[in-house]
């Protein structure tokens, strides 16, 4: 089911509605005409300025079509939502010039969004095809608008008193009349309407979603008569069902579980902070995961303890600071889930006093109350989350000499590294000669990951070198020149070895999200297997106030999407992931999803899917100076293997270092070592499923991009050679010394015949430790410029390709413009369609 910002429980008209108040007058505004036509002919489906610019919301993704009825029938447009996205009609300005003057406009075709706060009714005629209606799918519409962040209207079910004869059918046009008052919510009066959406039925209906056919769409103050009693000009009296029947509440654009002491089983209990102090008197012998601490609004609490209690939840509505007392000991806390509610604040910090904060996540998912598995971890629902550990002097250092199996001594280049005794170093896998492109490589039994961890026993320095003694000897050799990664930070978040479920960090909405100098270990639950997410739908028979709903679960996911180690999910503030270390994630390490996040100076080790994931194409934050170590896991497959069948939702599973869906972020100065199942760097910029995504209005985002869809941004360059990596972002001075199938994987960059530059790869150094594979691989791409790029094979008698090209089509070959391109010790310089 498609859900947007501010969704509230749908209004359901019944055959015998509850009593209504006395009718109110038609709005006092008296336009010169009483009807405002919106869509009457196929010409109303595009902007007045350009017939090629559609006014259909999600039109490209859903294939929304208009049909000319000729002389004897209605013209109409048809909307068939998919499992995840609703579609309909967009209003107002859809494209601006560089000075923010509207240059493409939909209804009312004057560059402004319509104002319906003083209008009487929304009307249209409709047909509705749904072979699955016995399973509970009902036709529904809603509006969005009100500026940014967008509000959502009430969801209206198209049945009973809204529709001729009480319901829609597939073989006859039936009139729909909806009072504007029934669409309004307490927080939105229908000003500045952005779009009208025709809703889907959620994943319950698999690939078979209903189809709406719509004609004669208008706003009026004089509604047409229906075959049944017409609706009143004022809404039905709202009667709320018992709130305890609701299971979820809307936050930002999604449904999340509802928490409350009155919802807990008898064996669990809540305690509340009072007088700005952490609750005392909690029974230290309480069973694990039975105590919830609530920090109410107005309370500002500091936790500096080391309690043995294993809390179930900490609900932060006020302010919670977790930090050492300057005169006290290290801080520790064990909890299942920390929930930071809207306007709440969680601040975790150390003060460069040598003290530490350790938070262990220990808990078990309960899909009866949390079917989409948000719990167990740190969950911020519009709250403010800041974590600030002590900066480290050196995040990495090269081995000065080879580390020998059986020894426990590392010699690294450099002094004053401040690698402390008890700290941990990760040494990457440096083995050479693996035949990674062999069809049976995974099952051959010849590959074993050789990544190792050194716990520091002692450090001594001399003559620009540091000698580090580890607590245990090495199992494998590690080549001179490889970089050890320093993982230890003064703040450590980890999943307890006793936990039934792994933790994750998830932020959405308007609150701060800044994570600096934090060690995150064994976080993330989503794996690189095929995604299998929970399917649920809203129970439209029940009505609740306050944006609550009862969700009916069809199936519980076995591999829920978006439960990653560190995840900014539609965050609407400028985020920062700086100086952190992430170790061991079964899918993704750091994720920016439709969010602007500065991802800088981090270490990411053993993220099976991808170390850094720019998920939606709208991400504009820079990815700078990170060190990613691969450990050879992931599906090892190309993204095309799941792209079409999963509507672009199951990506970056192959085993990558940095993976980007779009071209708007700067990727610069990053380094990768170890073994990547697919590639240390990849861009997959196919426009399908994302072209209607809009760059959010987040501080720091280039103003020229804000509020524009990816399709609009790309269209501005279609007559000037196209949009490229370097237009708004860039790929500059990145390097990899690693085992991989492809060093740099570039897919769907296209390129017109008038483009003589293409996307520029500036200053890349790619060294391959494997026997087979490619330095650069391109798919459906015509031209690139490579400046100061080195592609080098590190194994003699290899079978590698320097540049490999796929599926260019039309007999064309890849065009490479270059300055100082070096391809060294590689068997085939250009292979495939090159």
Domain positions in the chain are 35-239, 396-487, 591-600+610-834
Average pLDDT over residues 128-138: 62
Q: Cα-Cα-Cα-Cα dihedral of 433, 438, 442, 444, to 10°?
A: -80
DSSP code of residue 22: P
CA distance 672 to 736: 4
User: Parallel, antiparallel, or unpaired: how do β-strands 581-585 and 518-521 relate?
Assistant: parallel
Whole-angstrom CA distances from 171 to 34, 636, 829 are 30, 49, 62
pLDDT for residue 20 is more than 70: no
**Cβ–Cβ < 8 Å for 478, 399:** yes
Locate tokens 């910090």: which residue?
349
- 353 pLDDT band, cuts 50/70/90, is confident
pLDDT for residue 721 is more than 50: yes
Minimal CA–CA distance to 112: which of 133, 135, 93, 131?
A: 93
**Predicted local distance difference test score (pLDDT) of residue 72:** 62
pLDDT for residue 196 is more than 90: yes
Average pLDDT over residues 297-321: 96
pLDDT for residue 828 is more than 60: yes
pLDDT for residue 235 is more than 50: no
Average pLDDT over residues 473-498: 97
**Predicted local distance difference test score (pLDDT) of residue 242:** 86
Average pLDDT, the chain: 88
CA distance 640 to 651: 9
pLDDT for residue 454 is more than 80: yes
Minimal CA–CA distance to 491: which of 582, 417, 569?
A: 582
DSSP code of residue 399: B
Give the rounded percent of residues in the chain with a pLDDT score beyond 90. Answer: 62
Average pLDDT over residues 631-658: 92
User: Parallel, antiparallel, or unpaired: how do β-strands 518-521 and 513-516 relate?
Assistant: unpaired
For the chain, helix, strand, coil in percent to 5 are: 5, 40, 55
- Check if 35-239 and 396-487 are the same fold: no
Spatial strand order in the sheet of 483-486: 396-398, 483-486, 424-427, 452-462, 465-470, 409-413
Phi, psi at residue 601, to the nearest 5°?
60, 35
Among 220-229, 256-265, 594-603, 810-819, which is the least confidently predicted range?
220-229
**In this predicted model, which residue has the larger pLDDT, 247 or 751?**
247
DSSP code of residue 6: T
pLDDT for residue 302 is more than 80: yes
**Predicted local distance difference test score (pLDDT) of residue 10:** 35
- 202 pLDDT band, cuts 50/70/90, is low
**Cβ–Cβ < 8 Å for 815, 782:** yes
Coil, strand or helix: which one is 336? strand
DSSP code of residue 228: S
Give the rounded percent of residues in the chain with a pLDDT score beyond 70. Answer: 91
Among 306-310, 576-580, 622-626, which is the least confidently predicted range?
306-310
Whole-angstrom CA distances from 179 to 37, 121, 174, 190, 404 are 16, 4, 17, 12, 78
**Cβ–Cβ < 8 Å for 609, 657:** no
In terms of C-beta distances under 8 Å and separation of at least 24 residues, what long-range contacts does 236-239 make, across chains too? 236/11, 236/13, 236/17, 236/18, 236/20, 236/182, 237/18, 237/19, 237/20, 237/21, 238/543, 238/545, 239/18, 239/543
pLDDT for residue 188 is more than 90: no
pLDDT for residue 17 is more than 50: no
**Structure token pair of residue 681:** 């760097």
pLDDT for residue 262 is more than 60: yes
pLDDT for residue 756 is more than 90: no
Coil, strand or helix: which one is 320? strand
**Structure token pair of residue 279:** 């609750």
Q: Cα-Cα-Cα-Cα dihedral of 475, 480, 481, 483, to 10°?
A: 20
Average pLDDT over residues 431-452: 89
**Strand locations in 199-305 (E):** 211-220, 248-251, 254-257, 269-272, 291-295, 300-303
105-119, 277-291, 604-618 — most confident range:
604-618
DSSP code of residue 25: P
**Cβ–Cβ < 8 Å for 537, 551:** yes
- 18 pLDDT band, cuts 50/70/90, is very low
Average pLDDT over residues 351-377: 95
**Predicted local distance difference test score (pLDDT) of residue 240:** 66
**Structure token pair of residue 569:** 């999910």
**Predicted local distance difference test score (pLDDT) of residue 719:** 65
Minimal CA–CA distance to 510: which of 385, 617, 599?
A: 385
Among 107-121, 289-303, 371-385, 788-802, which is the least confidently predicted range?
107-121
Which residues, other chains included, contact 499 with Cβ-Cβ below 8 Å and sequence gap of 6+?
360, 361, 362, 363, 364, 376
| Dihedral sign (CA 811, 813, 814, 815) | negative
pLDDT for residue 96 is more than 90: no
Distance of CA 616 to the CA centre of its chain: 7
**Predicted local distance difference test score (pLDDT) of residue 239:** 56
Average pLDDT over residues 386-398: 96
pLDDT for residue 203 is more than 70: no
pLDDT for residue 134 is more than 70: no
Locate tokens 């259909």: which residue?
56
**Predicted local distance difference test score (pLDDT) of residue 33:** 57
**In this predicted model, which residue has the larger pLDDT, 113 or 319?**
319
Whole-angstrom CA distances from 163 to 136, 157, 159, 230, 291 are 18, 10, 5, 9, 50
Minimal CA–CA distance to 739: which of 793, 792, 674?
A: 674
Locate tokens 């209990």: which residue?
269
- 85 pLDDT band, cuts 50/70/90, is confident
**In this predicted model, which residue has the larger pLDDT, 761 or 546?**
761
Average pLDDT over residues 22-29: 30
CA distance 124 to 41: 13
**Structure token pair of residue 203:** 């994943």
**In this predicted model, which residue has the larger pLDDT, 370 or 27?**
370
Minimal CA–CA distance to 631: which of 404, 438, 428?
A: 428
Average pLDDT over residues 414-430: 95
Minimal CA–CA distance to 582: which of 699, 495, 511?
A: 495
71-80, 391-400, 639-648 — most confident range:
391-400
Phi, psi at residue 180, to the nearest 5°?
-60, -35
Q: Cα-Cα-Cα-Cα dihedral of 712, 715, 716, 717, to 10°?
A: 140
CATH fold for the domain made of 396-487: Thrombin, subunit H (2.40.10)
Give the CATH superfamily of 35-239: Galactose-binding lectin (2.60.120.430)
């Amino acid at each position: 089911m498609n859900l947007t910002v501010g969704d509230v429980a749908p209004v359901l008209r019944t055959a015998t509605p509850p009593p209504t108040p006395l009718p109110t007058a038609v709005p006092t505004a008296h336009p010169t005409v009483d009807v405002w036509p919106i869509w009457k002919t196929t010409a109303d489906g595009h902007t007045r300025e350009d017939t090629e610019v559609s006014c259909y919301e999600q039109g490209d993704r859903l294939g929304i079509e208009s049909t000319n009825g000729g002389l004897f029938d209605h013209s109409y447009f048809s909307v068939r939502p998919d499992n995840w996205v609703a579609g309909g009609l967009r209003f107002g300005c859809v494209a601006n010039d560089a000075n923010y003057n509207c240059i493409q406009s939909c209804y009312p075709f004057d560059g402004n969004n319509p104002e319906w706060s003083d209008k009487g009714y929304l009307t249209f005629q409709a047909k509705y095809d749904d072979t699955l209606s016995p399973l509970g799918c009902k036709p529904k519409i809603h509006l969005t608008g009100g500026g940014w962040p967008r509000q959502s209207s009430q969801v209206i079910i198209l049945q009973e008193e809204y529709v001729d004869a009480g319901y829609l059918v597939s073989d006859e046009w039936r009139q729909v009349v909806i009072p504007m008052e029934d669409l309004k919510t307490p927080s939105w009066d229908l000003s500045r309407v952005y779009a009208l959406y025709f809703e889907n039925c959620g994943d319950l209906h698999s690939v078979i979603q209903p189809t709406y056919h719509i004609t004669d769409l208008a706003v009026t103050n004089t509604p047409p008569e229906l075959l049944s009693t017409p609706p009143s000009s004022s809404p039905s009296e709202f009667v709320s069902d018992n709130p305890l029947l609701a299971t979820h509440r809307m936050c930002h654009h999604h449904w999340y579980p509802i928490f409350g002491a009155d919802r807990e089983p008898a064996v669990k209990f809540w305690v509340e902070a009072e007088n700005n102090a952490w609750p005392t008197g909690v029974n230290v012998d309480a069973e694990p995961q039975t105590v919830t601490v609530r920090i109410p609004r107005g309370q500002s609490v500091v936790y500096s303890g080391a309690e043995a209690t294993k809390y179930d939840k900490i609900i932060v509505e006020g302010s919670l600071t977790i930090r050492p007392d300057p005169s006290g000991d290290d801080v520790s806390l064990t909890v299942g889930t920390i929930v930071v509610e809207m306007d709440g604040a969680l601040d975790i910090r150390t003060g460069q006093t040598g003290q530490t904060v350790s938070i262990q996540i220990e808990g078990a998912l309960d899909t009866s109350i949390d079917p989409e598995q948000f719990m167990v971890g740190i969950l911020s629902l519009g709250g403010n989350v800041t974590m600030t550990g002590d900066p480290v002097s050196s995040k990495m250092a090269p081995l000065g000499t080879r580390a020998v199996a059986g020894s426990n001594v590392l010699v690294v280049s450099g002094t004053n590294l401040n690698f402390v005794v008890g700290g941990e170093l990760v040494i990457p896998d440096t083995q050479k000669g693996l035949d990674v492109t062999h069809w049976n490589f995974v099952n051959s039994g010849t590959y074993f990951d050789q990544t190792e961890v050194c716990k520091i026993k002692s450090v001594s320095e001399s003559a620009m070198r540091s000698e580090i003694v580890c607590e245990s000897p090495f199992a494998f050799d590690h080549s001179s020149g490889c970089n050890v990664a320093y993982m230890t930070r003064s703040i450590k978040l980890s999943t307890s070895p006793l936990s039934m479920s792994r933790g994750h960090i998830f932020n959405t909405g308007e609150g701060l999200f800044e994570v600096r100098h934090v060690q995150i270990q064994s976080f993330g639950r989503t794996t690189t297997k095929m995604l299998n997410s929970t399917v649920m739908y809203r129970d439209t028979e029940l009505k609740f106030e306050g944006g609550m709903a009862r969700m009916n679960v069809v199936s519980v996911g076995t591999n829920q999407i978006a439960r990653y180690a560190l995840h900014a999910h539609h965050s609407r503030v400028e985020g920062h992931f700086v100086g952190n270390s992430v170790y061991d994630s079964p899918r993704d390490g750091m994720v920016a999803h439709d969010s602007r996040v500065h991802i800088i100076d981090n270490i990411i080790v053993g993220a099976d899917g991808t170390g850094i994931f720019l998920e939606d194409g709208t991400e504009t934050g820079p990815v700078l100076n990170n060190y990613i170590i691969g450990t050879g896991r992931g599906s090892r497959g190309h993204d095309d293997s799941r792209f079409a069948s999963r509507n672009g939702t199951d990506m970056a599973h192959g085993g990558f270092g940095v993976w980007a869906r779009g071209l708007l972020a700067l990727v610069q100065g990053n380094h990768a070592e170890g073994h990547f199942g697919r590639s240390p760097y990849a861009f997959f910029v196919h426009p399908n499923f994302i072209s209607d995504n809009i760059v959010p209005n987040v501080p720091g985002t280039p103003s020229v991009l804000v509020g524009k869809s990816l399709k609009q941004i790309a269209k501005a360059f279609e007559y000037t050679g196209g949009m490229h990596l370097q237009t708004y972002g860039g790929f500059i001075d990145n390097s990899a010394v690693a085992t991989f199938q492809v060093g740099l994987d570039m897919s769907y960059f296209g390129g017109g015949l008038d483009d003589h530059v293409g996307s520029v790869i500036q200053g890349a150094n790619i060294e391959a430790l494997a026997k087979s594979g490619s330095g650069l691989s391109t798919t459906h791409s015509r031209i690139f410029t490579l400046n100061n790029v080195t592609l080098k094979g590190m194994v003699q008698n290899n079978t590698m390709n320097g540049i490999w090209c796929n599926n260019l089509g039309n007999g064309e070959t890849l065009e490479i413009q270059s300055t100082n391109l070096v391809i060294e010790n590689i068997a085939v310089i250009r292979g495939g369609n090159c």
